Amino acid sequence: MKVFEHKFLVTGGTGSFGETMSRYLLDKGAKEVRVLSRDEKKQNDLRLSLRDERLKLYIGDVRDYDSVDHSMVGIDYVFHAAALKQVPSCDFYPMQAIYTNTMGPANVIKASKRHNVLKSIFLSTDKAVYPINAMGMTKALMEKLVISESYSSSDSCSSTIFCCTRYGNVMGSRGSVIPLFLRQALDNHPITITDPLMTRYLMTLDESVNLVMHAFAHGESGDLFVQKSPSCTILDLANAIINITGSHSDIKVIGTRHGEKQNETLVSREEMLKAIDQGKYYKIPPDRRSLNYDSYFEAGDIGLSEIAEYTSDNTLRLSVAEISEMLLGLSFVKEAIKR
């Protein structure tokens, strides 16, 4: 596709998603892929891993508008992945979550408009739906900032398209539970689970890239895209890892951490009213109603009581055998078992 013969910026590009996205874009023939991140060690690792002169590394922080602005000169498309993602850390340091997860995206929006970027896609999380923790709340505000651009786009001189993707746990991403369970199982240490009945969505890194590329291909300003993903209980996930490793580990229940939910939600009940089923994905267009409330004093949406939200409890639930098969399809799992 000729569309890949452009310049791309990936914020947070040294993270699990960012690295996978950068590799994907280079493989597709991107003219240039810029990575904006704070960690020079991870940037050097990425440089050595990819070894591609089209990769350009920018040290900077999305909290700082000047560094975002500098990294965006001449850029055609932006993938905003930089974020604070650890739920307990964000609950202990909520202002830091606000700076990175809300003010950072505001800087990306501002710079995208200034440099007439064609499209900017922002990565969100299931924790932004009915949020109970600082990470989810700040990501929910990020979504509102992005969607609000679709309301004012007709009044703006900018033609940039802004849209979002939202997904649950990405299997094997840094700080996620699967690498921890693998280490515990392979060392025959107890596998520490928070709550046996807690459910979480399962999604691979490749699927996260595919979701973003679906938004890249089909997103209009204000759209939010969700992949229909299967889920599992934490207990079944632990048992699947014991099965594939042949471990003799026991399972130890340690209780939920700060800000954790029993189940996660990818699409709220209110959003399901307007969600468009695209097969593997849901497209959630923005609410185009204006602030003229007079029109809605006597009439509003109908059918809210007849529809359910899309959660990790009511999606397709995987068995231990199905989880095992999915895990064995991941390269980092096979490598860990081989070692």
Cβ neighbours around 98 below 10 Å, total = 18
Q: Which of 7, 42, 119, 127 is catalytic?
A: 127
Residue indicated by tokens 């990819």: 50
Cβ-count burial of 155 within 10 angstroms (0-12 exposed, 13-18 middle, 19+ buried)?
Answer: exposed
Give the span between the Cα atoms of 5 and 75, in whole angstroms: 12
Geometric angle at alpha carbon 50, from 48 and 52, rounded to 5°: 100
Geometric angle at alpha carbon 325, from 192 and 25, rounded to 5°: 95
Tell which residue, 82, 73, 127, has the closest CA to residue 102. Answer: 82
Is 127 annotated in the active site?
A: yes
* Cβ neighbours for 124, distance < 8 A, ≥ 6 positions apart: 139, 142, 143, 164, 165, 166, 167, 224
Residues 9, 72 contacting (CB under 8 angstroms): yes
Residues identified as active-site: 127
